[in-house]
Amino acid sequence: MLKIENLKKLQFLRSLKIRIFLIAFIIGILSCNMMRYAILQNYEQRAVSLRISDVQTQLNILANHLITNRYLQGTTSEAIEAELSLLSNLYDGRVLIINNNLKVVKDTYGISGGKTIISEEVIRCLKGENTSQYDPENNFIEMTVPIMETLEADEVDESGKPAGPQYVARGVMLISVSTDYIAVTMDILNRKALVMEAIVILAIFSASILASFVIVRPFEKITDALNQVKAGYSNEPISVPDCLETEHIGDAFNAVISRMKVLDDSRQEFVSNVSHELRTPITSIKVLADSLRMQDDVPVELYKEFMEDIANEIDREDKIINDLLALIKMDRTDSDLNISQVDINALVEVIMRRLRPIALKRDIELVYESVRPVAASVDEVKITLVITNLVENAIKYNKEHGWVKVTLDADHQFFSVVVADSGMGIPEDSIEHIYERFYRVDKSHSREIDGTGLGLAITRSAILKHRGSIKVVSEEGEGTTFIVKIPLTYIAVS
């Protein structure tokens, strides 16, 4: 419960405006802080290194004086003492002079005089090395500088050249220099930087709010435009060209709307076609029945003839309704195929046997050629419907004494059923329409032949559900060939 409440509290974070504002604001504050820190650090480093080099110069001068005045040998002078106390006052620190026996000869604080100091820095310094160490916690720098004496060499080295002057460390100066003024300056700088930072953060705060509003504004505009369309106030294509993203959303939405319009148009056309096709047989029945009703003493033969016509029209109505139901069932995207392993050779043979009597009535020869045995995983009912429709059409749209040839073949991926006939053929401009619902080639001889115009629509739909293909080649007056290819194994899309 507690967790859900917490999550609800965080819901505001889902707002793009809040996210943009937070990101811009946090980045702004972080960079401000980092800048302040970097500037202070830089100042501190520079100030410390300046102080070190300053003190070092002073100590080198003093070291020279100490040597010339033989200070380490015990000779002292007022000038040296004054110089030492000046140095100690100037740098607000303590100066120790240590001889090469590690004994403190002078301590400006007067505490450690005569004591022995053994420290790593002092020993390193006696070897001629300058050392310096900054302690930012306690605000001081500790430095050591060797007191070097130059010995004139009158000897020559192994190569025969004069060996040159030699430097010997006679002692060490150890000095602690206060860095209080650096800390004070840093404190002042820090305070000034904080004031600046507060001003900059205020500016960043305003800029972040502005940015979040400006960036989100086009999205709000597009939502408004979508709502207008949703509420039915507008049917115009929406356009928010403020930024590329909203332009893309607008384009995608317009594409969806125009697709929906196409679907709606085709649905309306389908409904009007259905009502027209369903009404035709009923109108005929009504005309036939009325004409019988209007006449008195109708001969029995005419009665029989009219009743036969009425029965035919009822059969036609029944066929249209059945075909419609088959098509609607096929078009439903959620209707699954009932896949099983089917012997296609046997299936085609059964269909041929069933249709042979119809072909015989018009003396049409039905030939079946099976190139190889074919077994495939298909929906048996739907594939039966496909082959039956094609062979039925080949018989229906044939001429007397013609032929229909069905060939079954397969490769490693597909099996193919080719239905060729010697019939009337399909005019070139009609070929692209034959799979449309209710489309029939508008020729008087086609109109005489019984049909609903739904057969090929159902056939194509069943083939596409199997991820197969259907092609047609036709020559008017010569004949038609339908080529169907179906995968041997059905692969469902997830």
Chain positions contacting ligand ADP, by CB under 6 A: 389, 393-394, 397, 421, 423-426, 434, 439-441, 446, 451-457, 480
Give the type of residue at 280: T
Q: How far is the CB of 456 from ligand ADP (least distance, A)?
A: 3
Q: How far is the CB of 236 from ligand ADP (least distance, A)?
A: 39
Nearest to 288 by CA among 314, 263, 257: 314
Q: How far is the CB of 239 from ligand ADP (least distance, A)?
A: 42
Vertex 446: Cα angle to 445 and 452 (nearest 5)? 150
- CA separation for the pair 270, 120 (Å, rounded): 101
Q: 212 is written with which tokens?
A: 């979040």
Q: How far is the CB of 462 from ligand ADP (least distance, A)?
A: 13
Query: Cβ closer to ligand ADP: 171 or 453?
Result: 453
CA-based end-to-end distance of the chain: 37
Which DSSP state fits 73?
A: G
DSSP characters over 149-211 = EEE---SB-TTSSB---EEEEEEEEEEEEE-HHHHHHHHHHHHHHHHHHHHHHHHHHHHHHHH
Q: How far is the CB of 382 from ligand ADP (least distance, A)?
A: 15
DSSP characters over 85-121 = HHHHHHTTSEEEEEETTSBEEEETTSSSTT-B---HH
Q: How far is the CB of 484 from ligand ADP (least distance, A)?
A: 13
Treating both helix axes as pointing N-terminal to C-terminal, what angle do 455-465 and 300-331 enclose, rounded to 10 degrees? 20
Query: Cβ closer to ligand ADP: 218 or 453?
Result: 453
Query: Cβ closer to ligand ADP: 240 or 454?
Result: 454
Query: Cβ closer to ligand ADP: 397 or 415?
Result: 397
Query: Cβ closer to ligand ADP: 324 or 454?
Result: 454
Q: How far is the CB of 246 from ligand ADP (least distance, A)?
A: 45
In this structure, the strands spanning 94-99 and 104-107 are antiparallel
- CA separation for the pair 200, 214 (Å, rounded): 20
Query: Cβ closer to ligand ADP: 186 or 387?
Result: 387
Query: Cβ closer to ligand ADP: 25 or 435?
Result: 435
